[in-house]
Structure 1
Amino acid sequence: MDELELLKKDWQRQEDNYPRLSYDQIYNMIWKKSSSIVKWIFVISIIEFLFWSVITLFLADKDYWLELDRLHLKEFTIISYIISYGITFFFIYKFYRNYIKISATDNVSSLMENILNTRKTVKYYIAFVLISTAIVFLIVTYFTFYYHALNTEVAEIEKYTFSPAQWAIFIGVMVLILILVLGIIWLFYRLIYGILLRRLNKNYRELKKLEM
């Protein structure tokens, strides 16, 4: 049983020999826990951004860019990096703003609203990651297949000889791979942010009880 549950039980006790905790004390405990959770969401988003940035810099050597140029993906990759980093910075800023707002909250209704806004921001962020990953995957797959075939002598001869069944198999395999990739990403984010969101949702339910 956590500290908040103990405080709630103390608050509800009617016996004279036990001090009764006030409404404000219970609220302050929930407020502190919520502020800490939102702070961790903000910190984790920064760590995640730095991690993927380092991975990108490590992989983006001369051969990497030459291969992208050969597949006509260099410009697309640069543009996708710019857009992705820009949107990610926006979400990091939103996480920071959510933390600042919750830290300055002084009443139950505002705290509940800020908790809901934080949950929405995290869900939108995860949706952005999944959708952008799907778009990039499909575009990279198409360009890789098309230009690799164009630059391969045997494939060039057989380029237009694929039967409908072969195309169906190829598309089916790509769809399965995409679903697997998105599933892994979803599980990754659910593990990282899901625990924090569940705790935040628990705090929201406790605040609703306080308002009753």
Structure 2
Amino acid sequence: MDELEFLKQNWKKQEENLPRLSYDDIYSMIWKKSSSIVKWIFVISIVELLISTLFTIFMADANYWDQLEQLHLKKVTIFVYVISYLITFYFIYCFYRNYKRISTTDDAATLMHNILRTRKTVRTYIAYVLISTGIYYLVIGYLTVQNHQLIQNIEDTSKYTFDAMDWVKFTVVFGIILAVFLLALWLFYRLIYGILLRRLKKNYRELKRLEI
């Protein structure tokens, strides 16, 4: 008997001694893991909201609001804050709803559907954060320069104003800075939520094999 045959027979003997898991046992383990992952997504979203709120409160001092008032951006900023928090609360509610759905699921097909729904919700949330952040800073950057120039023109017409080439330079530099910031933000979300999404994807594949 060669070495390969010996290893095969030895493996079969070990396999016979291993405990055999039923369909319900495997499903129960996948269900518990999925429920735990979605719960963590919900918790992380709340922590993220709390951190961003504290950061906003810390940065938004009296001087910050005075500068916005001078640039005529105070109302716009408040409006953006309100809309942003409303949308964020909506996503947190979606994460909580996904968690409740998975925690009360009693069949594999529904669990697979809820896993896909959760992954889609997280991806939509990340896309919203990146797109809204990019648009916000583009608009604020443009309005800041425009209002700053308007104030200068009113106070002293002899002061230098932006020409076409200055706008091009500003757009390029600002675009590069914004792109780097959004890339860093994307990597941050990729690290935090990406790990959980990959685990959910793995659970989905295991359920799919289980159904087959």
Superposition TM-score tier, normalisation by shorter sequence: 0.7 to 0.9
Give the structure-1-normalised TM-score. Answer: 0.88
AA paired with 1:176? I
Q: Structure 2: how far apart are the matches of 1:204 and 1:14?
A: 29
Aligned length: 199
Q: Structure 2: how far apart are the matches of 1:166 and 1:155?
A: 18
Q: 2:160 aligns with which of 158, 161, 164?
A: 158
Does 1:73 find its partner at 2:73?
yes
AA paired with 2:208? K
Question: Where do 1:182-201 residues align within 5 Å?
Answer: 182-201=182-201
- The structure having more radius of gyration, on CA atoms, is 2
Q: Structure 2: how far apart are the matches of 1:197 and 1:79?
A: 32
Question: Where do 1:169-208 residues align within 5 Å?
Answer: 169-208=169-208
* Bigger relative CO (Cα 8 Å, ≥ 6 apart): 2
AA paired with 2:67? E
RMSD: 2.0
Return closer, same or farther for 1:20/1:156 CA change in 2, 3 Å cut-off.
farther
Q: Deviations for 1:98-130, whole angstroms, at most 9, x for unmatched residues?
A: 000000011110000000000000011011101
Q: Structure 2: how far apart are the matches of 1:156 and 1:115?
A: 63
The 8 Å contact of residues 149 and 156 in structure 1, kept in 2 or not, is answered as no
What 5-or-longer segments of structure 2 have no aligned partner?
Answer: 1-12
Instruction: Give % identity.
Output: 60
Superposition deviation, residue 57 in structure 1: 1.1
Q: Deviations for 1:146-167, whole angstroms, at most 9, x for unmatched residues?
A: 122233367864325x2x4443
Q: Structure 2: how far apart are the matches of 1:192 and 1:155?
A: 51
